[in-house]
């Protein structure tokens, strides 16, 4: 008999993992499909606001949560999804990038988001040659070197604090007049003499030959419009990963987020969404809100399948 899952969970971040945990405990046959276990959470160097686990590294958090889910013998497929197709009223086909396909009664979209890019000259050319989107992944390449971080939110300021133990000098470059990060991170950054904050400034160009050597600023800093620099980490926010659902005609908001009801339902019957990709939780993008949305959505799916 062909295997049909109760839920196909697309995405292996906190939303997808917690959804699977609840589904398994409900006795629902579920499968998680995701390219990277933990999603962007694995790139966070320190998580300090997960209740009960202060100061846990993102990598360790992902390991713990993934092992928790695997305790229930959940099927996890490390693979990308090419397409989701609705077949009739009560079934979906999930086409995987490895050529296989899955069938499920319901689908939970938890694909999260991806790093937003600056879109300026040289950014693409110097990717991996001085331009990065993950301080935790690439920070060790810049020991005792000069780096820049673009952004003013939690991800940017926490990256500056992280690199404060590695680099010789960190420029935190932000277009606004004041940082938008948690007070905890702002205070930590201000205490480190290696970190210099440059406000009201954008990077307009990356320059170098074989690798990045300087950036051009739209406002002068100490009398010049360029900074000699070895590497730059772009931390200016995220874009929802909704390319996968474009053919399903699921309703999105003006920011490209999936519109959901309080229980995680989307505009397409049989499809739920959870985590950073949704309009839920007042658009408060946190690990805990993603995990809770996964739990709420699974509870709603349970009620739907019991009808």
Catalytic residues: 134, 137-138
Rg (Cα) of the chain, in Å, rounded? 21
- With beta carbons less than 8 A apart as the criterion, state whether 147 and 233 touch: yes
Going from the C-alpha of 279 to that of each of 18, 112, 263, 274, the distances in angstroms are 18, 12, 12, 9
Run of H or E including 233: strand 231-234
- Round to whole Å and give the CA distance between 280 and 287: 13
* DSSP character at residue 4: -
Classify strands 195-198 and 169-173 as parallel, antiparallel or unpaired.
parallel
CA distances from 234 to 130, 152, 160, 249 (A): 11, 11, 11, 32
Buried b / exposed e along 119-146 (16+ C-beta atoms within 10 A):
eeebbeebeeebbbbbbbebbeebeeeb
């Amino acid at each position: 008999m062909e295997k049909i899952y109760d839920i196909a969970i697309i995405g292996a971040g906190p939303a997808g993992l917690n959804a699977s945990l609840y589904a398994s405990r409900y006795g629902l046959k579920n499968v998680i499909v995701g390219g990277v276990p933990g999603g962007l959470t694995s790139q966070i160097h320190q998580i300090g606001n997960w209740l009960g686990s202060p100061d846990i590294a993102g990598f360790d958090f992902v390991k713990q949560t993934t092992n928790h889910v695997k305790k229930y013998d959940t099927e996890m497929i490390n693979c990308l999804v090419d397409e989701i197709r609705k077949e009739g009223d009560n079934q979906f086909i999930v086409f995987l990038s490895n050529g296989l396909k899955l069938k499920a009664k319901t689908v939970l979209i938890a694909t999260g988001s991806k790093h937003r890019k600056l879109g300026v000259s040289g950014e693409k050319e110097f990717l991996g040659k001085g331009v990065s989107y993950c301080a935790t992944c690439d920070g060790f390449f810049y020991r005792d070197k000069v780096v820049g971080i673009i952004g003013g939110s939690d991800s940017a300021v926490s990256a500056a604090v992280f690199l404060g133990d590695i680099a010789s000098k960190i420029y935190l470059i932000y277009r606004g007049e004041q940082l938008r990060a948690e007070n905890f991170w702002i205070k930590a950054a201000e205490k480190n003499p290696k970190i210099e904050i440059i406000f009201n400034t954008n990077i307009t160009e990356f320059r170098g030959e074989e690798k990045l050597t300087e950036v051009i600023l739209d406002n002068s800093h100490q009398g010049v419009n360029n900074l000699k620099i070895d590497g730059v980490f772009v931390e200016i926010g995220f874009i929802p990963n909704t390319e996968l659902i474009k053919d399903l005609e699921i309703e999105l908001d003006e920011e490209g987020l999936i519109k959901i009801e309080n229980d995680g339902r989307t505009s397409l019957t049989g499809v739920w969404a959870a985590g950073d990709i949704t309009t839920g939780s007042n658009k408060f993008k946190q690990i805990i809100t993603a995990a809770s949305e996964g739990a709420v959505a699974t509870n709603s799916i349970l009620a739907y399948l019991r009808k």
